[in-house]
Amino acid sequence: MDAILVLEDGRSFTGRSFGAPGERQGEVVFNTGMTGYQEVLTDPSYSGQLVVMTAPHIGNTGVNDFDPESFKPQVAGFIVRAYSEGYSSWRARSSFSQILREHNIVAITDVDTRALTRHIRSAGAMRGIVSTVDLDVARLTAKARAASPMEGLDLTRLVTCDEAYHWAEGSGEFTPRDWSSESGVTVAAPARFHVVAYDFGLKRTILRRLVDQGCKVTVVPGTTSAEETLAMQPDGVFYSNGPGDPAATVYAFETLKQLLGRVPVFGICLGHQLMGLAVGGRTFKLPFGHHGINHPVRHLPSGRVEITSQNHGFAVDPDSLPADVEITHINLNDQTVEGLRCRNLPAFSVQYHPEAGPGPHDATYLFDEFTRLMQEARR
């Protein structure tokens, strides 16, 4: 034993370090995905969190240059049951532990993640600390309790871009011949629409899906004003995913209030929560959040069930929404709001990640809906 995880309630889990040495604190959450650990590692929505993977074997496909959702790992720390240093994949360029050490991410293996997940499921997500330099449970418990809770934290400023930029890469096909190309992705056909995408922790796959739809994408920092955005004359505005408490990101939903009704808007994850706040609703903290690639969601207008990818710890309060806002999707595990649309404005949002396609591509129609709204706005 040379590493330990300690929760704020004093519960501890020992293990072995396989990342960088050090000590990191954050909110401890579990992810139920059977795969996709590199996407999880690099998803900015996990900023400030210690992620527990419920799948027992992690690392056996290494890491590659195609799957990162941002330019670097974003998690506060990583916790697994059994790490595999050996890996096998034609796309892999290094082991998982190597990228963790390169980016100073503390990680721990040989943890009883089943017991840990069951504890979080019962007690709720809580603050914790992973350490390879201090193994004293009492001291670490005190440090965990002194850490800032997720409620009230605006973490989007830590992960947003510094300045605006253009994105032009589409999804492409991940075949062996892409390995020798410069990026492994394709450039889409000429753009039909101009979309301004607010970066609150934006995932690259979302940008690729927008380009696939024939969009010229301008990514802007999360603090960009409505006036600056409208001056770019966009056909539509996209509000991205991101970390932290949506209610603390006041500037973001106040800007959205000014954009609604003036340009079509599509929001995902944090963008969905900000939409709920912008139309007059409230958000609340979930007990342990939704993190994984196998969450069932019902599309209420059609009755269709979608298998979705999710990563969020807050939700929109359905009782707080005004009458001119329609709930379009619900989570079948706990009945929380997963989608909404404005009845009288070209604006809608979903809590889950339709770009991810965790096996099926059940939710890609939402990008078609966004382009439809932009086309109608031109008439």
Q: Give the C-alpha separation, 243 to 49, whole Å.
A: 9
Residue that the structure tokens 């619900």 belong to: 330
Residue that the structure tokens 């990680």 belong to: 107
Q: What are the phi and psi torsion angles at 353 (to 5°)?
A: -110, 95
Q: Give the C-alpha separation, 43 to 57, whole Å.
A: 20
Q: What are the phi and psi torsion angles at 338 (to 5°)?
A: -120, -5
Q: Which of 202, 205, 216, 204 is nearest to 161 (CA)?
A: 202
Q: Which of the 8 DSSP states describes residue 148?
A: P
Q: Is 353 a catalytic site residue?
A: yes
Residue type (1 letter), 379:
R
Could you tell me the CA-to-CA distances from 132 to 58, 135, 350 in Å, in that order?
A: 20, 7, 39
Q: Is 119 a catalytic site residue?
A: no
Catalytic residue among 39, 269, 272, 312: 269
Q: Which of the 8 DSSP states describes residue 319?
A: G
Catalytic residue among 119, 290, 291, 353: 353
Q: Give the C-alpha separation, 373 to 354, whole Å.
A: 17
Q: Is 342 a catalytic site residue?
A: no
Q: Which of the 8 DSSP states describes residue 136?
A: -
Catalytic center residues: 269, 353, 355
